[in-house]
Structure formats: structure tokens, C-alpha cells
Copies of this chain bind each other. A is one copy, B any other.
């Protein structure tokens, strides 16, 4: 087989057929399971969750992962945080003419491995090839479908004063890993992306713990933007305690040097949740036993609910409080 993608690989003919056989089906499993056009899926429930994301991360390979791993973890986590059990996923590739097939194989193998970790099946795919210069290497879209179990429905409407905000671990790792991989700012760190599928951890939580009001994965826009959106959508005020927010020393150091605020850096393997305080210690215990939740911490509380204008406040180590807004302007394009 040739070693580079040509335009003919995207024409739906013989070379597309070969690419599917030798690259995609080889990693994604036997052709019985993977339907490359439409896939028929049996759902054990009649309520499903659906999430879609395109991945344009630059560079394609970075410490801790690559675009393929990220395309699985990101979509799986989007489903998991809405209380769904991720089950099937589609994968659509847009590939630049000339892209090296061994690199594509590596990406596809990472997707297959991460899908296996998460327990999801890749059920349908698509391949488009565009001329050199019309896309930067490789972009991937994944769309995931999960089953919603009624008994695990989250209840954001129950959010009330006194509820706690928990994050599953350190913030900003993915952002700094990508920045470091780009070598644009002369930044050299050992920080790896945190990208990981959290569905097993989250499923244990929703099965064992009552009182989880809502969950989110604080990706693009970071923890601050994610919480601002929750505050506004569900009309409550959160006060974060800055000193409680877990952050690696090297991430904080990189942020200090480059002038980034870690609260706005992307995370790809973290979940933030709002929980009834009577259940918070049990939740922390479950999270800390899991490799992806070792540094789970209570980082703030709901100080008011049912307000007209929800907002996010940050209590600084000096005891002052400032309001945090959505990310504005440009921070790090193509972080995911």
C-alpha cells in the first residue's frame, strides 16, 4: 500500500475501499460490527444522549495523547457528564493530500485503544480527502450516543445554597501540554495532557452517590468558562476558593511566565460537579481511589440559588473576591 494519502483515497472508489480495509477496519474491529455507511444500533433504553465534536488540535501528536485519543475522550466525556452511559461513536476523517499513512494508522490505533478503554464501539465512519493546503493535516469529528438511565438523571433544578463544587483533579494540564508541544513560546515542560475517558469514574459516582446535581467537563474555555455557563443557565452564584483549586506547580509556573490564567486553560480529563454537601465526602473518596480522580478537591460552594443573574466569584488568597467572566478574546486556538 502507498504511504501517503492521495486525493483518490477520498473519492469513494477503489483506493477509499483499500484505506477503509487496511487502516480503519483493521483497528476498529471486524467488518461485521463496523458499518461504514449507516449503522443499525439496538438501544437498551429509549432515551439517548447525543454529542458531537470536531477535533482540530495542533499539533496532532502531543505529550499524553494525539488527535485520535482526544476525539474519543472528548466525546465520551461529553456524554458521561450528562449522565449517559456512552455506547457507540462515529468517526469522520478529513485528511490532507500527502498525509502519511503510518501517522494515520497511529491515530486510528489510539482511537481504537481509547474506545476499548471506554467500552464504546466505533460504529460508522467517513473519509474525505482534500488537496494539499486545504486542511492542516488531519481533522476528526466524533459523534457519540449514550443511553440515559432514568434513575441516574441529574437534577440541576435542585441546586441550592450550600451545595459544593468538586473538581476531579488538577487544572490546565492539557492547555500547557499543547502549548509546550507547539514550542512557540520557548516553553519546555514535562506536563502531559490529562486527556482520558472518565465514563467509568462518572458511572461509579452516579451509581453510588445521591445528590449529584450536575456535571461538566471543563474543556475549551477552562474551568471558569464552564462554571460561568452553569451559573447563568441555572441561575445560581458560585464562590470558588482559589487556594483549594488543584494545580500542578509546573503548570502554575508556565502560566506565571506566559501570563495565562489556568482557570481558562482547557482540560481534557477532568469533571467538575455540583453536589449536595451531605454526599461530598463519599464522592471524594470514590474519586480519589480512581487514577483519574486522585487529586479531587472541593473548590467552592453555591452561595445563592434562584437568582436573576447567575455569576461566578473567586475568593483570592488575600481574602478579596472578584467576578469571573467567560473567556474573552484569544487564548489558545486549536486546543482540541
Contact between A124 and B39 (Cβ–Cβ < 8 Å)? no
A90 at the interface (CB under 8 A from B): yes
Cβ contacts under 8 Å, A53 to chain B: 92, 126
Contact between B330 and A7 (Cβ–Cβ < 8 Å)? yes
Q: Which residue of B lies closest to A41 (CB)?
A: B48
Q: Which residue of B lies closest to A331 (CB)?
A: B11
- Among A78-86, A179-187, A292-300, the one that faces the other chain is A78-86
Cα distance, A7 to B331, chains bound together (Å): 9
Contact between B94 and A54 (Cβ–Cβ < 8 Å)? yes
Q: How many residues of A contact B (CB 8 A)?
A: 76
Contact between B46 and A220 (Cβ–Cβ < 8 Å)? no
Q: Which residue of B lies closest to A216 (CB)?
A: B37
Contact between A78 and B219 (Cβ–Cβ < 8 Å)? no
Cβ contacts under 8 Å, A329 to chain B: 8, 11, 13, 15
Contact between B50 and A12 (Cβ–Cβ < 8 Å)? no
Contact between B326 and A52 (Cβ–Cβ < 8 Å)? no
- Among A135-143, A268-276, A282-290, the one that faces the other chain is A135-143
Interface residues of A in 11-47 (CB under 8 A from B): 11-17, 37-47
Contact between B13 and A54 (Cβ–Cβ < 8 Å)? no
Contact between B50 and A46 (Cβ–Cβ < 8 Å)? no
From A10, A42, A129, name the one whose CB has the most chain B CB atoms within 10 angstroms. A10
- Shortest C-beta distance, A115 to chain B (Å), equals 15
Cβ contacts under 8 Å, A126 to chain B: 52-54, 141
24 sample A-B contacts, Cβ–Cβ < 8 Å, listed by A number: A7-B330, A8-B328, A11-B221, A11-B332, A12-B221, A13-B327, A13-B329, A37-B78, A38-B49, A38-B50, A39-B50, A40-B148, A43-B46, A50-B123, A50-B143, A52-B125, A52-B126, A54-B93, A54-B141, A55-B128, A90-B143, A92-B141, A94-B94, A141-B141
